[in-house]
Each structure stands twice: as structure tokens, then as C-alpha cells.
């Protein structure tokens, strides 16, 4: 797929936080996009990004990013593309204002995920849902909002989608073991996290109950008809730096063998235009054999952290099958997923005022 002639200027909202930093790192050297503006809370406005950001990434802070001056999130002249890493407690009205100002906002926050006219996108699964954004003109004029799922929802949905397409998924029970980085910066206090499992992650269970049904649903007219599946979820926080592990049991709509399930996962691919996007993994779902896979420390970075790994497939005495799935929560589950959605939006012509190379 041809990239833009020149990199498209991009702003990052919430640039000093964990996901914001991931976005800044991923944009460094991106073939389509260029980090042009960084935005954060009022307390940070006017400071250099390199001085304000407590850089926590394993790669160095890019010099160009460090030299940018932090701006208010509530500017009146946003660039055409805005990537939002704001928390849900503040994101909703700020993202809506930027959309009304003409920007395409790709959000990691929960604020707009379940809005009827906002697509909840995992491009390999439901790239066609991006067409739902067309009806947002009633609210935002030329601007749009696209959303990325919750960091656990995306891993679960990627594991379920191949099975749902092939056999139907009717019932799901999931227990999450969620990494510390999912709590953001400064995150969980060390004395609470060490030598511990915290059996509560605020708001996460509701997201797992509702988001996969929208992701796996069908675009119908001016909305999404959710997939008909029942989900029971228990969310925990564990002392792992990155990588959300999910223990899943599924009840299928029709019988399937272990070999058929593995084939569904390994054969799963997105549409051709999605597979050609710069951030798309060659194989979205990887099945790992072995009694001790997947593991966060060993497998979270496969395919640049953009693939979801599955293993431990066994019969379930209560449903049909059980398995373990792992996804990198700040890459595939947040910054990388949002970047992939932004690439899809550019490829399908949704960025206001941007002329693609194929346009005359």
C-alpha cells in the first residue's frame, strides 16, 4: 500500500502518560506519520516534552519529540489526525471538541467506545465498521472519532474472532491476569503489587462484558448489531510489567476439534488492505505449542507486540474448550492498535483534507 507523499502531521493527547509515550516512540520513523504536536494536562502546558515526560520506554526518547513544547489538549486548531491517550475521566468532551474542530480522533479511552455512531475497531476483525463514522457528521461536521478497545477486550476479541467466524461463539468465561503497565503512570504502588495478586481492576469487567459483542457484531444501517454471546469476566492485576494473560473457556455454536480450532487461529487474516498497513502483523493470531506457553516475558513482543498468542488448548468440562491467550497491553492493546486504526483511516480516505497518493 502506498504511503502518503510526505508524512502526515499528528498530535498525541496525553503524551506524557504510559500509552502516550508508546505512541511517541512508535511515531518515531513511522513511514506515514510525523509527530508534530504533543498535548497534556494544564500543569504541563508550556514545558518541553523532554523535560516534563518521565520517559519509561526501553527505547531512547526521540530528539525531535523531546524538543516539542507541550500544548493544551483543548486547542482550536488541531491537525487533521489526533491520537488520544487521555484517561476516560477527561477524554470524552476533549475528544468531541477536537472532532468538532475538524480532526479525526483515534481514541484509546472508553468514553465513546459504545456510542451508537462510533466504531470500536480491531482492523483485522471489523475494518468494515469504519463506515459507521460517516454518520458522525451530524455531531462533528467534518471531524470523526474512532475508538480502540480496552486492552483486555482486544486480546479476547482477537482470540474469539476466528472461532466465532468458523463455529460461532455462544458463551465465554474469562479470568484476566493484567500487567502493571495497564494502570498507567504512576500506576499501582510497589508495596501493593509485589508478592501479590489484586482481584479487582476498576471498570474492566464491564468492558469485557460489552466490548467484544460490539467488535464481533455486524454493521447494519446506522449501527452495529452486537454478536449474541454471553461473557462472564473476573479481572485481576498481577506483578508483570507488560502483557495481559487471559484464561478463557468457550462454548461454541457447533462442535469443533482441537485441530480445527488451531487451524482457525493460524489461518486467520484481515482484509488485504489491512494486512498491507505498516503496523499490521503478518499473522494476527499465533498458536504456540508447549506446556508452558504463552508467557508474558517470552512472548509479548512477538511480531513487534502486535500479534496475539494462544496456547494451552484443552477440553473444558463445563463448556467446550479452554485456552490461554496473551497480548501486549500497551502495544496491541493500546498505542499500536490505535496506530493501526489510524493507518486504516488514512488508507480509506477518512482524514479530513488529506489527499492520498492515489487521488488525482
| pLDDT tens readout for residues 260-297 | 999 999 999 999 999 999 999 999 999 999 999 999 99
Cβ neighbours of residue 142 under 8 Å, at least 6 residues apart? 102, 352
**Which among 267, 341, 257, 331 is positioned nearest to 33, based on CA atoms?**
341
| Residue 30, number of CB atoms within 10 A of its CB | 18
Q: Does residue 246 contact residue 100 with C-beta atoms inside 8 Å?
A: no
Looking at residue 183, what is its pLDDT?
87
Grid coordinates belonging to 335: 498505542
Preceding omega of 143 cis (within 30 degrees of 0): no
Q: How far is CA 160 from CA 3, 146, 171, in A?
A: 31, 22, 11
| Residue 183, number of CB atoms within 10 A of its CB | 17
User: What is the rounded end-to-end Cα distance, in angstroms, of the chain?
Assistant: 17
173 is annotated as an active-site residue: no
Q: Does residue 280 contact residue 340 with C-beta atoms inside 8 Å?
A: yes
pLDDT range class, residue 352, cuts 50, 70, 90:
low
316 is annotated as an active-site residue: no
Grid coordinates belonging to 109: 479511552
For the stretch 305-351, pLDDT in tens is 999 999 999 999 999 999 999 999 999 999 999 999 999 999 999 98
Looking at residue 190, what is its pLDDT?
85
**Which among 244, 299, 320, 328 is annotated as catalytic?**
244
pLDDT for 1 beyond 70: no
Q: Does residue 327 contact residue 242 with C-beta atoms inside 8 Å?
A: no
Domains of the chain and CATH, by start: 8-149+335-347 (3.40.50.720), 151-328 (3.30.360.10)
User: If you average pLDDT over residues 240-252, what whole number do you get?
Assistant: 97
pLDDT range class, residue 360, cuts 50, 70, 90:
very low
Q: Does residue 245 contact residue 308 with C-beta atoms inside 8 Å?
A: no
**Which among 151, 164, 320, 328 is annotated as catalytic?**
151
For the stretch 165-183, pLDDT in tens is 999 999 999 999 999 999 8
Grid coordinates belonging to 97: 471538541
Amino acid at each position: 500500500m502506498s504511503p502518503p507523499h510526505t508524512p502526515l502531521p499528528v498530535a498525541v493527547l496525553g503524551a506524557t502518560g504510559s500509552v502516550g509515550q508508546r505512541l511517541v516512540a512508535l511515531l518515531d520513523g513511522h513511514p506515514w506519520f510525523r509527530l508534530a504536536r504533543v498535548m497534556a494536562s494544564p500543569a504541563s502546558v508550556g514545558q518541553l516534552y523532554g523535560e516534563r515526560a518521565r520517559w519509561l520506554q526501553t527505547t531512547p526518547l526521540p530528539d525531535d519529540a523531546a524538543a516539542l513544547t507541550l500544548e493544551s489538549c483543548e486547542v482550536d486548531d488541531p491537525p487533521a489526525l489526533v491520537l488520544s491517550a487521555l484517561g476516560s475521566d477527561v477524554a470524552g468532551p476533549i475528544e468531541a471538541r477536537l472532532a468538532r474542530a475538524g480532526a479525526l480522533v483515534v481514541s484509546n479511552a472508553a468514553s465513546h467506545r459504545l456510542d451508537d455512531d462510533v466504531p470500536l475497531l480491531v482492523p483485522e476483525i471489523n475494518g468494515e465498521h469504519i463506515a459507521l463514522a460517516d454518520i458522525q457528521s451530524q455531531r462533528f461536521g467534518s471531524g470523526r472519532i474512532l475508538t480502540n478497545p480496552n486492552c483486555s477486550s482486544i486480546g479476547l476479541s482477537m482470540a474469539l474472532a476466528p472461532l466465532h467466524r468458523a463455529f460461532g461463539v455462544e458463551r465465554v468465561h474469562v479470568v484476566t491476569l493484567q500487567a502493571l503497565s495497564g494502570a498507567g503512570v504512576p500506576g499501582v504502588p510497589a508495596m501493593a503489587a509485589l508478592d501479590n495478586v489484586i482481584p479487582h481492576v476498576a471498570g474492566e469487567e464491564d468492558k469485557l462484558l460489552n466490548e467484544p459483542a460490539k467488535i464481533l457484531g455486524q454493521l447494519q444501517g446506522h449501527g452495529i448489531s452486537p454478536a449474541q454471546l454471553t461473557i462472564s469476566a473476573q479481572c485481576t492485576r498481577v506483578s508483570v510489567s507488560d502483557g495481559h494473560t487471559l484464561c478463557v473457556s468457550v462454548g461454541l455454536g457447533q462442535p469443533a476439534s482441537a485441530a480445527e480450532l488451531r487451524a482457525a487461529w493460524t489461518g486467520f487474516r484481515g482484509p488485504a488492505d489491512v494486512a498491507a498497513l505498516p503496523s499490521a502483523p503478518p499473522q494476527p493470531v499465533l498458536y504456540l505449542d508447549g506446556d508452558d506457553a504463552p508467557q508474558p516475558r517470552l512472548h509479548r513482543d512477538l511480531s513487534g507486540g502486535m500479534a496475539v498468542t494462544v496456547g494451552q488448548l484443552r477440553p473444558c468440562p463445563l463448556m467446550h474448550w479452554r485456552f490461554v491467550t496473551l497480548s501486549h497491553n500497551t502495544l496491541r492493546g493500546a498505542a499500536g492498535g490505535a496506530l493501526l486504526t489510524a493507518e486504516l483511516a488514512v488508507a480509506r480516505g477518512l482524514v479530513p483534507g488529506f489527499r492520498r497518493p492515489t487521488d488525482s
